[in-house]
Chain A
Amino acid sequence: MVLSRVPPATRAWLGLLARLVVGAVWIWAGAIKLPDPAQSVQAVRAYQLLPSAVVPTVGQLLPVVEVVIGLCLVVGVLTRGAGVLSAVLLVAFVVGISSVWARGIEIDCGCFGGGGTRVGASSAYPWEIARDVGLLLLSLYVVWLRRSRLALENVLFARPATTPTPITTTTEGA
């Protein structure tokens, strides 16, 4: 892997960059949707993919989860978990957009608010998929890296230092 030739310090800084980019996108995407859950539910329904019984829950939960994942990544807590969840969601979005594309349904992806049918929306599908794949790769990088710079968890969750304990060899005061 090319990344193994990158010095560890640079990798850790790149990890910070990846966290900030992916995290900021999640916070932005979620915060836009939060004030209008009905719109979010409608956007999910427009994919015609999920059973109607779960559509409202998904539409209501998604903006909240997006904001929280984004916060975790930006602040740097539970980053691996947030990275995994981020990757899983992005895969789901790529599947969703590919699916409507394949079925010839023209909808606003509802990625950043909006949603529902829109004339000519399919022209944006390739770019939306490319963007999500890019974010997916960044998320996977965060997961793979484990530790990055300026993460709150480096302080909060620091493992106890395993100091060598030269107890029996002490001669002090002998």
Chain B
Amino acid sequence: MSKRAQDERSRKAAEAIAEQQRREARRRRLNIGAVVGVVVVLVLAGFLYTRIADSSTDVTAAAAGTSEYGVTVGPDGAPHEVIVYEDFLCPFCGELERKTHTKLQELAEAGKVQIDYRPFHLLSPAYSSAAANAFKVVLDASGPKVALAFHNELYADQPDESGPFPDADWLVDKAVDAGAEESAVRPGIEGSTQASWVDAATKSAEDSGVQGTPTVLLDGKVFQDGRTIDDIADNLIEAVS
């Protein structure tokens, strides 16, 4: 074979090899691209799904003052409406209450906001339902003003979630401090006569979509504006001031 023909063959072989390497490199790039594409699609599709399935803010509660399961302060037709779903034992509820109730209730008295406190039984210890029962007993026997004061008292002196838990006598004392007649509330507190109301209040909260406590609604929308409970408390007061 001539030198020329040999060179020609070498050149062709080199081209073939280079071509194959190009094809392999291209295949590699395509594969990487395909895998990255699949990963991106999976993340986006998953995120879309969880975003739609996230029911945290899907709470549709009866308007303030229209529920049978709460106590209301502030006038109908106030410019803002706040609903607080809470458990008497939940520590975050206690923190929120202690930070807000004085100021919020002042604002309510001034006609700026109507607040509807709706206690229910979320946490398992018996104190949670005993306190909610006592709240309803006081509400029926002594009216909303005393029930509201009783509610404030219970949070001001909230027991630790891990116990020890106060007994019925303690609840009676708190009710009397709030302005109730002892004889009017003792039998109901000791006999848990409002247990079925507590169950109904709990069911009502769950039916409304409440998934945890405290759940605060400002003008019908779940209010979670703030990093910490303290932030949320401050922002809530600011929003209705």
Residues of A within 8 A of B (CB): 34-35, 37-42, 45, 48-52, 55-56, 59-61, 63-65, 67-68, 71-72, 77-78, 116-117, 119-120, 153, 156-163, 165, 167-168, 170, 173-174
Contacts and interface: CB of A to CB of B under 8 A. Distances in A.
A41 B54 contact: yes
Contacts of A61: 43, 47, 50
B28 A158 contact: yes
Interface stretch (B32-40, B111-119, B137-145): B32-40
B53 interface: yes
B21 interface: yes
Interface of B: 1, 6, 9-11, 13-14, 17, 20-21, 24-25, 28, 31-32, 35-36, 39, 42-43, 46-47, 49-51, 53-57, 90-92, 161-162, 211-212, 224-229, 231-232
Contacts of B21: 160, 162
A48 B54 contact: no
A49 B56 contact: no
Contacts of B91: 117
Q: Majority SS of interface residues in chain B?
A: helix
A60 B229 CA distance: 21
A153 B13 CA distance: 30
A69 to B, nearest CB: 9
B226 A40 contact: no
Given A34-B49, A77-B35, A117-B161, 14 more contacts: A34-B46, A37-B53, A38-B56, A39-B211, A52-B224, A56-B57, A64-B42, A78-B36, A117-B92, A156-B32, A156-B35, A157-B28, A157-B32, A163-B17
